A and B are shown apart, each in its own frame.
Chain A
Amino acid sequence: MARRQISFRSWSLRFNDQSDDVLRDITLRIEPGERVLITGPSGGGKSTFVRAIAGLTDSAIVTERGKRTSDALAIAYVGQEPDEQILFPTIREEVAFVAETASENLDDVDERIREALQSAGVTNDPDSSTGRLSGGEKQRVAIATAMAARPDLLVLDEPTASLDGPSMGVVRDAVTRIVNDTDTTLVLVEHRIALWKHLVTRIVVVADGRIAIDGPLDEVLTAQRSALVALGVWVPGHSRATKPAAIERGAKPVLVSRKLVSARAEGAKSIRLPSLTLREGESVALVGANGSGKTSVLRALGGLMPPRGGRIEYVGVNESPHEIAAKALPVIASSVIQNPAYGFGNGTVSDEAPAHERAAVGLRGRDQRHPQSLSGGERRRLALATALAREPKVLLLDEPTFGQDAHSWHDLLDRLRDYLAEGGAIVFASHDQLLVRSLANRVITLGEKR
């Protein structure tokens, strides 16, 4: 296969509906066979940059200046959100779509499908439905699909962002095998350097729309360690858990749940939560693999949907949480769901949450932006600021640290600890072990069997 390269020279990009450049004065050259990790602060322009590398800039909505050249013959791109990577009803159709586009004859299509599924380690029946796959399996199928084009450049934008530990390993192993076996050039966006340290050779840090650091990974990790830390990069071995504050003696109970049985939807499997009494100042973590029921338990506790069985009671409130009027609910139990985009009710960030709460979770300088236009990590912080502004008795958080850089992560932890110190109480679901160790007074593991 021909070896090709990508280059940017004094290149800038602006969204036509915004007044400032999102990416500024970028000069970068990626040689064939390189393995590049792109990282940097949440909202710094990483995703926009890799989309440009993948050739996904739409001239109708952006203006580019400077020079961008790509000699890659076939570029494969896999984004963050598993559901957005899957286009067809079955695994075979999904992979075949790319193979049929890239091939000249049908025998080659079958060969490409077989090879792609094998290289990404997809062991599911190819005729099974893509809708029933777990998040990790969907990402693995998306990577297999990308490989069916036999690309010379593979671009991955946080492919493990929404996955639990085992699923993350599945995706990492698939990418490692592909890159080692095929010599494909790899460009990968990721906050967790530790996860990919074995594979990538070069690190590019994008901060505030510019390339702040660019060099060989090992060298940068030692020589520029403090610069990385200052930029909020998750430097392996740098962040350590600090113990959560102890609950005050005699703290009053705020939430009591007995024999709770919840389910994601009608007909879905039942999830049982051990009896729970949550006190003022207390924080409880729900942990477990993807699909173990953390979200459905949180939603039942938060009154977003009725439980299948058992009893949930907020102290001093007569109704069950799902019967509380919508207007009154967020003051008692305020939920921040995994994708807060579904719940934004205003046209600008400044209308969505007060300035001091936004600043407290490290969300600055986005006042006039539409909430939907924020990066994934920023959206979560905005939703958290909105929830905290209501001073709820209990805060229910679903994966609050997805997509956060080290700075915003610490801002978020500090604000949550303040809230607990003021007498609030938290139930949160997370795959983030550092957060669990730093915030939870108690850990409940759901769905031990996978």
Chain B
Amino acid sequence: MNRGRHSVALLGASAVPALVVVWTVDPFTPILTLVPLLAVMWAFAPNALIYPSRIAYIALGIAIASTGIASLLYAAPRGTIYFELGLMTVSDGSFAVAAASMTRIAAIALPAMFVASSISAHEFLATLAVKRVVPARFALATLIALRLIPVIASDLDETRQARRANGLSQSPFAVALTSLVIAIRRAVRMSDVAETRGFSKPHRLWSAYQPMRFLDWTLVAFAVAVGVGALYVTATTGEWNSAIR
């Protein structure tokens, strides 16, 4: 199997912005992190960066816009007030908070979106299991749960149609309840299947496990350096706005 950069390295690098933006609320740090980070990721793992689907962009757009609007209207007023109606106040302060929160979301989400298709859940969980970060059973159960997501989605459709066929209400609660009962029954039978295949055997091999190589560690190191660098620049240029009080 062709393996590019290690899933743990990709995930680690893409998590850097989330660790950086907890320190300061300003619109510059996220951008100072995001742009060089994407460049570093592109340099080390060009094949791992895959354009997200249109749906993912739309979801991100909605998240950014709704956060921006909420911050604009409800953030604590500061400086000049431009508009006031009941609880809503638009001021210099709310513009600053809106800009900061919108760039934060973009910085956190975009790197993850770009590597999402390249990360192998199996390789990632195998690494956690081999390194004993999580028990093997947990890693296996998580993988099985991932495979069940589309199956459960189709359960909901089946339940809706079957209830209509029987003249029963299709209320979300009733549909969810029936789907839940069926999902549990299936899970019981699938756990039997898993059990006959040695699910609880104490020792097993993980062929999806790969040790982290030099370039994987280098990618993580550069990503961390980008984060630290961004915080340093923000602090020295006087834009720091501590998020921890």
Contacts and interface: CB of A to CB of B under 8 A. Distances in A.
Given A89-B143, A330-B166, A299 B161 contact: yes
Contact of B205 (A89, A92, A109): A109
A304 B165 contact: yes
Contacts of B168: 326, 343, 345
B165 A77 contact: no
Given A87-B190, A89-B147, A327 B205 contact: no
Contacts, number: 134
A101 B201 contact: yes
B197 A56 contact: no
Contacts of A374: none
Given A56-B192, A56-B195, A299-B161, A330 B204 contact: no
Contacts of A372: 181, 185
Interface string B187-210: 001101111111101001111100
B225 to A, nearest CB: 34
Contacts of B189: 79, 81, 84
Contacts of A11: none
B211 to A, nearest CB: 13
B84 interface: no
B155 interface: yes
B169 interface: yes
A323 B181 CA distance: 28
A54 B196 contact: yes
A225 to B, nearest CB: 35
B168 to A, nearest CB: 5
Given A93-B143, A131-B147, A299-B161, A343 B166 contact: yes
| Interface size range on B against A | 35 or more
A337 B207 contact: no
A154 B144 CA distance: 23
A106 interface: yes
Interface in A68-111: 75-77, 79, 81, 83-89, 92-93, 96-106, 109-110
Given A84-B189, A87-B190, A345-B166, A101 B161 contact: no
Nearest to B197: A98
B178 interface: yes
Contacts of B172: none
B79 interface: no
A334 B190 CA distance: 32
Contacts of B165: 302, 304, 329-330, 334-337, 343
A42 interface: no
B182 A341 contact: yes
Contacts of B122: 88-89, 93
B137 interface: no
B205 A87 contact: no
Nearest to A103: B205
A330 B186 contact: no
Contacts of B199: 101
Contacts of B238: none
Contact of B155 (A51, A149, A342): A342
B169 A326 contact: yes
Given A106-B207, A109-B207, A342 B143 contact: no
Given A56-B192, A87-B190, A127-B1, A342 B205 contact: no
Interface in B108-134: 121-122
Interface in A291-309: 299, 302-305
Contacts of B178: 342
A447 interface: no
B86 interface: no
A39 interface: no
Contacts of A305: 161
B163 A326 contact: yes
A77 B204 contact: no
Contacts of B162: 337, 339-340, 342-343
A102 B182 contact: no
Contacts of B146: 89
Given A299-B161, A304-B161, A337-B165, A100 B151 contact: no
Contacts of A105: 205
A388 to B, nearest CB: 13
Contact of B167 (A76, A89, A326): A326
Interface in A49-77: 51, 54-56, 75-77
Nearest to A102: B198
A334 B144 CA distance: 36
A340 B159 CA distance: 9
Contacts of A79: 189, 193
Nearest to A325: B167
Contact of B186 (A84, A88, A302, A304): A84
A130 interface: yes
A293 to B, nearest CB: 16
B242 interface: no
A75 B181 CA distance: 29
A326 B147 contact: no
Contacts of A339: 158, 162
B212 to A, nearest CB: 18
A145 interface: yes
A329 B1 CA distance: 52
B42 to A, nearest CB: 25
Contacts of B204: 100-101
Nearest to B188: A58
Contacts of A265: 157
12 contacts: A87-B147, A87-B190, A98-B198, A100-B207, A109-B205, A131-B150, A328-B167, A330-B165, A330-B166, A330-B167, A343-B165, A372-B181
Given A84-B193, A343-B159, 18 more contacts: A79-B189, A84-B190, A87-B143, A88-B144, A92-B1, A100-B207, A102-B198, A103-B205, A109-B207, A304-B165, A326-B167, A327-B167, A336-B165, A340-B162, A345-B163, A345-B168, A372-B185, A390-B167
Task: Return the 9 tightest CB-CB contacts between A and B, nearest first.
Answer: A343-B162, A101-B198, A342-B162, A335-B165, A304-B161, A100-B205, A330-B167, A343-B166, A342-B158
